[in-house]
Structure 1
Amino acid sequence: MTTPPETAGRPGITAEAIESQLLGGERLFTLEDVSAALNISEEHARRVWSAFGFTMDNTNTKLFTADDVQALQLVHALDANRSMEFEAAMARTLGQTISRLTDWEAHNMAERIRSDAETGTESVDLATMVKAVQRVQTLVWRRHLASALQNALATTDGVDRTLTIGFVDIVGYTSLSRQIDMNELDDLLERFETNAYDVINTRGGRVVKTLGDAVMFEAEDPIAGAEIGIALQRLSKEYDLPPLRVGMALGTVLTRLGDVFGEPVNIASRLTSSARPGTILVDSVLASAVDDDRFFFKSIGPLSVRGYKRLRARTLEVNRKSVDAD
């Protein structure tokens, strides 16, 4: 894709200016140069670069800056004792995560630039904006890394762990997205994600990822998982959201590069799809593990879903008797 020489909506912000501020220098190196510098094959270098999310149409073109080469050297050094597959997987995870973050950052920066241009306001220059975003990003990253590193040292990536896995999604999202304009849709998704993240993070859970109109989460403690489920269900009334539904399952999972895999993930996904609007479905394993009189589990008939002909599930509700007693 060719970048226009003049960025729309803001005369003076050229492709060259953006590259100068963001890429860390001129593109001086080809794929052959990079592979020689890292002492790896061109296929290896191409695979990692592609995993980061970047295209490479011509291997003889000077695509890489000195900073690019240094980044690839660091990734290769960090994973020197790992397979190429692991190195590519790490690059892919990093690329996907940062791509979403930068899309949001770029949108907000562009809106600021356009707004200043339309009102005749003297705009903050690009270098200053980039420096501010980079500073905030580093500070937030360090705090998240400190917390994640403590957790990582207490566990081992890939080793079987017993977790409660859950999904929450917006009922009727596809139909709703066709009926409202883009600004309303943006506001809806923002309220949903912001409040779902808050519920999960403040109750001992962790957001694994977002999947369109759904949020996937995990919790070490089954009781914390139940608390999260109930709190998520309440978001509809508290923040004027469409009906939500939640599905959760407890079991052994594989953790890999921040993601989670295994049968509990599949079961939780199927339960979410089967849940009625405004309800929470959990598997029988989770229901048996939650020994807390604040919660009530109601048995339902076996579910026939993809991969499971007779999936045993229960609805999770607040125990009214316990509430009344309080």
Structure 2
Amino acid sequence: MNRSELRERLVQLILGGELNLTSAEAADKGGLSVEDGQRLWRALGFADTGDGVAYGDADVDALATVAAALDGDVLDEQTIFQMTRALGTTMSRLADWQVTTLVEQIERDVQAGRAETRLDAAVVLAEEAAPNLEHLMIYAWRRHLAAATARMEALGAADEELLSTVMTVGFADLSRFTSLSNDLDDNSLGALVENFEIRASDIVTAHGGRVIKTLGDAVLFVSDDPAEGTRTALDMVKQIAKRSELPNICVGLATGSVVSRLGDVYGPPVNLAARLSHVARSNRVLVDSATAAAIGDEFDTRTLPPRPLRGFGNISPITVSERRGFRSR
């Protein structure tokens, strides 16, 4: 195949067929108005295509699925488009992550002589690896959906408790990241960020917490239990400090009521945890008074002099460390 044929083959493999329809034609076949079709397209995170040919059978099936949901009695219109927007946002980030990772594999395949060009290598991956990755993606989504449902059920029967609950929020921040990033090339910087995110996420998960999002030089996580959240933070400091290829980190913890919305968390504890991480010394954990009061005497704590934290006035941060002779779980 020539380059043009390979590119067309790659698109067909990824999208599951040819693109031979305009937006109006796809919307009509899918049973939606052009306006609702464009609304769905935008909610998924895609730019308008105008009158160009940019859709295929898979797009028609997606439109038909939304049309059937809108005609049904289970989900209302607002919920359908909110879920679509959440799906588009999540899948956009996932696709970027996957492509970045696959590009590295493709480069290795070309350099090792397993493929003549990047396009050849990409086509092989799309033919042989994509179906299994798609299966794994659906499996992971179902497992996370089951876990999220269980968390919601455990919060309580009151409706207002389902989106707002008390959590310990952690914000782990790499020290001197800005100056460090100026001295690294793009590949080294990307490897450092990925290394940090992977190790921090593994530690949070091992302690039963959840990573809410990663921000390059920072990780935002939550824990249902202040003591376990504190163990998470201390373990993160200890494990990352051992890695010579990673800079030191600073961690802030705050406990209180947060609102969960569209996969993110909001509220004063989120902002306070970030502020505490910014004033913490390298390889130190700072907590607020609510967290310190909740963790009991399992840890050594020391109250520092008050200092101004933007949005909170003068706050006395509290350093926390493992009590001598105590081993973390």
Whether TM-score is above 0.5 comes out as yes
Alignment partners' CA distance in 2, 1:96 and 1:27 = 23
Alignment partners' CA distance in 2, 1:114 and 1:199 = 31
2:85 to 89, 92, 103: 92
* Residues 280, 118 of structure 1: alpha-carbon distance in 2 compared, 3 angstrom cutoff: closer
Query: Which position in structure 2 is the counterpart of 1:120?
Result: 113
% identical equivalent positions: 35
* Residues 121, 40 of structure 1: alpha-carbon distance in 2 compared, 3 angstrom cutoff: closer
Q: Secondary structure at the match of 1:14?
A: helix
Alignment partners' CA distance in 2, 1:131 and 1:318 = 47
What one-letter code is carried by the residue in structure 2 that aligns with 1:194? I
Alignment partners' CA distance in 1, 2:252 and 2:68 = 41
For residue 126 of structure 1, report the CA deviation from its aligned partner: 3.3
Q: Is the 8 A contact 1:282 1:316 kept in 2?
A: yes
Which is worse superposed, 86-95 or 211-220? 86-95
* Residues 136, 38 of structure 1: alpha-carbon distance in 2 compared, 3 angstrom cutoff: closer
For residue 39 of structure 1, report the CA deviation from its aligned partner: 5.7
Alignment partners' CA distance in 2, 1:226 and 1:189 = 23
What one-letter code is carried by the residue in structure 1 that aligns with 2:305? G
For residues 214-246 of structure 1, the C-alpha deviation after alignment (integer angstroms, 9 at most, x for no partner) is 111011111111111111111332222211001
* Counterpart check, 1:290 vs 2:283: no
Q: Secondary structure at the match of 2:326?
A: helix
Query: Which position in structure 1 is the counterpart of 2:146?
Result: 146
Q: Is the 8 A contact 1:76 1:87 kept in 2?
A: no
* Counterpart check, 1:277 vs 2:269: no
* Residues 30, 121 of structure 1: alpha-carbon distance in 2 compared, 3 angstrom cutoff: closer
For residue 12 of structure 1, report the CA deviation from its aligned partner: 7.2
What's the C-alpha RMSD, in Å, of the aligned pairs?
2.8
What one-letter code is carried by the residue in structure 1 that aligns with 2:129? M
TM (normalized to structure 2)?
A: 0.84
For residue 41 of structure 1, report the CA deviation from its aligned partner: 5.0
Alignment partners' CA distance in 1, 2:67 and 2:214 = 29
Alignment partners' CA distance in 2, 1:41 and 1:311 = 55
Query: Which position in structure 2 is the counterpart of 1:213?
Result: 217
Q: Is the 8 A contact 2:307 2:316 kept in 1?
A: yes
Q: Is the 8 A contact 1:158 1:256 kept in 2?
A: no
Query: Which position in structure 2 is the counterpart of 1:21?
Result: 13
2:318 to 304, 309, 314: 314
* Residues 52, 295 of structure 1: alpha-carbon distance in 2 compared, 3 angstrom cutoff: same
* Residues 44, 296 of structure 1: alpha-carbon distance in 2 compared, 3 angstrom cutoff: farther
The residue correspondences of 1:38-57 to structure 2 (distance < 5 A) are 41-57=33-49
* Counterpart check, 1:170 vs 2:174: yes
Query: Which position in structure 1 is the counterpart of 2:118?
Result: none
Alignment partners' CA distance in 2, 1:78 and 1:300 = 56
Which is worse superposed, 60-69 or 254-263? 60-69
TM (normalized to structure 1)?
A: 0.84
Q: Is the 8 A contact 2:32 2:67 kept in 1?
A: no
For residue 16 of structure 1, report the CA deviation from its aligned partner: 0.8
Any unmatched runs of 5+ in structure 1? none
What one-letter code is carried by the residue in structure 2 that aligns with 1:133? L
Q: Is the 8 A contact 1:247 1:282 kept in 2?
A: yes
For residue 21 of structure 1, report the CA deviation from its aligned partner: 0.3
Q: Secondary structure at the match of 2:129?
A: helix
Alignment partners' CA distance in 2, 1:323 and 1:113 = 48
For residue 141 of structure 1, report the CA deviation from its aligned partner: 3.2
Q: Secondary structure at the match of 2:84?
A: helix
Which is worse superposed, 116-125 or 159-168? 116-125
